[in-house]
Structure 1
């Protein structure tokens, strides 16, 4: 059996090494256009920032090490220019000589990944522009930064695009001592986040001196710097283009393989393309969305590794080398995490914005618990959001942000989604507890308690972005925090009666619907239960004042929200 794998790194190398473990006698050829077939692309920003000190640490395997351990025929500088499905051959161009050769195959695995969009154009004297996807990119950036060996105040960088890579690059350039401007086309960095959650990211960036330009695009580059569409010019010594990627599907298109509605290569549950002898894995391939069951694009190294393994198993099964049928590729949740200075920003599944845009019914739950027991020193607040199907109580998505503990909470929720647990069942999960690690009621359990209260109708809630409309319709906002908290910042027009005084001041409450709120939602829930049992129509402001304030920061442009409050 002769298998040609086009592309290395996560998906291609996982397919190659898994296939070798299943078939010692197969001829496995790995073709890579660049010089490096196996490198830690997720570590590239941290080498730029000096967190990873040695460039060699990025190089996980070499052609020689792969040949020695796995008997792989790894060819770098080998660009595949065509796949002839009738002849079952692959056309390969040597990038050094230009010579083209043909190699026959029994199976092909496409692992070409994704490619950057149209480059940012620059005139004479314009700053160096680079993406950050390969070792060649990191070398180009390192050479540009070497012009400022002390990384002094005169060293200036502009990062275009506030996604995962963009934020990691921003952090690492700041660590080098550079003045950094982040240009983001959308309303906030990390577009998969909802606005009130993204407010924490914005605050963290600004706290570290990042010049944040939102709702802005690059129009051009020249010796003066980066020209933005708001008419400003930002001086720059280097520009990092982190605007995102698109599937590298040209080989598949030219070979007549089916392309899905997202522009990615269409595959079945075993990574087979429309030609069963050609499989595809990685960032250039469509996945099935776990929430909608529709095709989607998810560019995650973990999925690429897993799907590389699935492709190898499918090839082995087709050739009678696997006793059981291969496991199919599960739908993708898009579980992800990124560090933004001292914050961890994590997400899984769908956001509220995505659910609203799709017209899908949903219930929203916010919570702000501590990452571990509050009485133990060093407790830090987590900001959590859960999206729930109101009919089935199944979890549709989650976002968790905090300085500690966000990673394990998002992983618990992702597992719960895959296991088919309901949101209410989160309150019954038995999770590890010691005061320095968690709480007797873990933050995930707290989400479950709130979800159960909502599912059973014990407490009705309202979201921060719905408040203005219900107030305009005649509802009254009651702040049940302490007088000191209310004085420090309050929702305009709200009346302050603390939850501890509420029973004795019921006659002071105005007629009509009441919206109660506290700082994070817990005292509001207590107040709502009390008032409901006294015959009042009442809803609790989900996530409390903290969530409302964060939402206002992101949706009230050019206003000082503290003055507004």
Structure 2
């Protein structure tokens, strides 16, 4: 009987375990995780803090007993993997509750080790109440602090997805928010003009956005910024980035790629064919350029789990490149993107042209409509779409989803004209914003 060991029991680890069991009823599957919870919806944690999700326990998708009962998968929490002994095909595990260590043999090892929040080295940071948000436990700590200490102000370092989502949810709780971002514009993966729209929406809702600066010194609740300004914050949230957890792989001699993730082949195998890696700690490839790419988001991890399961049962499906499709709620607006931004295109050395369409989400005479800005980059010769971004009210997600489908299918920007999309006044216009991009691209 084949022995499959999985390190990590959150999105990627729990999903790959379940996917393997769906196809393979015989193998013994054991999952280890150093945390005290498994298979939780990490993307929902900001909204549980802001009480948009009233019951935080609804984020818990499974527990060890249900995994054992329904799928015959053993999950051991508070167990940390210390070392991979490749020559012996075993992992050294430490029981964090008892301190006991033991070697767990494997035929197949899957690394779903995720990533850890980066905490910058800031003078005096230990004098303050500082949190990160990377786990269910982190969420519980933040909620407990807010409930017990009743803070009036917060400084969030980093205006990426977590930073922006936390800014909104803390404002919903009545907490004053300073959002400090080292780069010149928020959500640095966006084009500057689209970032400006996000910043405007944040400011319109009372978030004090400070770009091009960072926290340089901390003295309790007094924070000194790199430009010399000082602000007060009852607590801080660090969301400056994620470091992939690759220590196990590195110690085992598995190659780490230029993005910092574990190098994987078309079937998510590492350089050791008996060891797979997926999720935040794995390196993959960009669909447009083929260059190395690491996407710490939920969709890639879930897709990679399926690919590993199929490979293990001898019905392999090679992975495609990743686009990095992503979306975020910004108060009453939405920002979404896919593919390459303008900066990414320039760094890749590709030629490009751009179409920007500003219009309504649906018929302007219908009472429930909103404004959209849809921006699409494409190659001037092949006419293939390189990337897109959309900001506005309703309908942002479906426009980006259509662009994703077009890019995956290899359609040209002019092909967008011919897409026969749904139309009725509550939903779109006779010529959808997607169609308009296709028309506008014609010289």
Alignment correspondent of 1:444: 434
Cα separation, 2, equivalents of 1:95 and 1:119: 27
- Segment drifting more, 250-259 vs 371-380: 371-380
1:271 aligns with 2:272: no
The structure in which a higher percent of residues are strand is: 2
Alignment correspondent of 1:384: 374
Q: Give 1:506-521 correspondences, 5 Å limit.
A: none
1:416 aligns with 2:406: yes
1:192 aligns with 2:189: yes
Q: Give 1:320-359 correspondences, 5 Å limit.
A: 325-359=315-349
Decide which of 139, 154, 158 is 1:157's aligned counterpart: 154
Alignment correspondent of 1:370: 360
On the 8 A contact 2:117/2:133 being kept in 1, the answer is no
Cα separation, 1, equivalents of 2:192 and 2:22: 46
1:340-359, Cα deviation, whole Å (9 max, x unpaired)? 10111000000112212333
Cα separation, 2, equivalents of 1:429 and 1:28: 45
On the 8 A contact 2:123/2:216 being kept in 1, the answer is no
Alignment correspondent of 1:43: 44
TM-score computed with the length of structure 2 as normaliser: 0.97
Q: How many residues align?
A: 442
1:474-533, Cα deviation, whole Å (9 max, x unpaired)? xxxxxxxxxxxxxxxxxxxxxxxxxxxxxxxxxxxxxxxxxxxxxxxxxxxxxxxxxxxx
Decide which of 189, 207, 212 is 1:215's aligned counterpart: 212
Cα separation, 2, equivalents of 1:156 and 1:96: 36
Decide which of 228, 238, 241 is 1:241's aligned counterpart: 238
| Higher RCO (C-alpha 8 Å, min separation 6) | 2
1:252-298, Cα deviation, whole Å (9 max, x unpaired)? 00001111121110000100000000000000001110111011111
Decide which of 290, 297, 316 is 1:293's aligned counterpart: 290
Segments of structure 1 that go 5 or more residues without pairing to the other structure are: 318-324, 455-565
Cα separation, 2, equivalents of 1:142 and 1:339: 21
- Segment drifting more, 373-382 vs 168-177: 373-382
Cα separation, 2, equivalents of 1:369 and 1:291: 28
Cα separation, 1, equivalents of 2:250 and 2:167: 35
Measured at CA, do residues 134 and 124 of structure 1 come closer, stay the same or move farther in structure 2, by a change above 3 Å? closer
Decide which of 222, 225, 236 is 1:225's aligned counterpart: 222
On the 8 A contact 1:366/1:383 being kept in 2, the answer is yes
**Shift in Å at residue 129 of structure 1?**
0.6
Segments of structure 2 that go 5 or more residues without pairing to the other structure are: none
Alignment correspondent of 2:144: 143
Cα separation, 2, equivalents of 1:148 and 1:98: 34
DSSP-derived class of the 2:360 partner? coil
DSSP-derived class of the 2:380 partner? coil
RMSD between superposed Cα atoms in Å = 1.3
On the 8 A contact 2:119/2:238 being kept in 1, the answer is no
Cα separation, 2, equivalents of 1:375 and 1:138: 43
Alignment correspondent of 2:397: 407
Cα separation, 2, equivalents of 1:297 and 1:124: 29
TM-score computed with the length of structure 1 as normaliser: 0.77
Q: Give 1:108-123 correspondences, 5 Å limit.
A: 108-119=109-120, 121=122, 123=124
**Shift in Å at residue 175 of structure 1?**
0.3
Cα separation, 2, equivalents of 1:378 and 1:146: 37
1:296-316, Cα deviation, whole Å (9 max, x unpaired)? 111110110110111122122
- Segment drifting more, 350-359 vs 333-342: 350-359
**Shift in Å at residue 97 of structure 1?**
2.0
Q: Give 1:57-76 correspondences, 5 Å limit.
A: 57-76=58-77
**Shift in Å at residue 226 of structure 1?**
2.1
DSSP-derived class of the 2:262 partner? coil
On the 8 A contact 1:170/1:180 being kept in 2, the answer is yes
On the 8 A contact 1:352/1:364 being kept in 2, the answer is no
Cα separation, 2, equivalents of 1:189 and 1:181: 13
On the 8 A contact 1:112/1:248 being kept in 2, the answer is yes
1:201 aligns with 2:198: yes
On the 8 A contact 2:122/2:215 being kept in 1, the answer is no
**Shift in Å at residue 124 of structure 1?**
8.4
- Segment drifting more, 305-314 vs 384-393: 305-314
1:52 aligns with 2:79: no
1:106-143, Cα deviation, whole Å (9 max, x unpaired)? 00000001122244546488331111010111111112
- Tell which structure's C-alpha radius of gyration is larger: 1
Cα separation, 1, equivalents of 2:129 and 2:135: 16
Measured at CA, do residues 268 and 125 of structure 1 come closer, stay the same or move farther in structure 2, by a change above 3 Å? closer
**Shift in Å at residue 147 of structure 1?**
3.2
Cα separation, 2, equivalents of 1:450 and 1:312: 44
On the 8 A contact 1:344/1:401 being kept in 2, the answer is yes
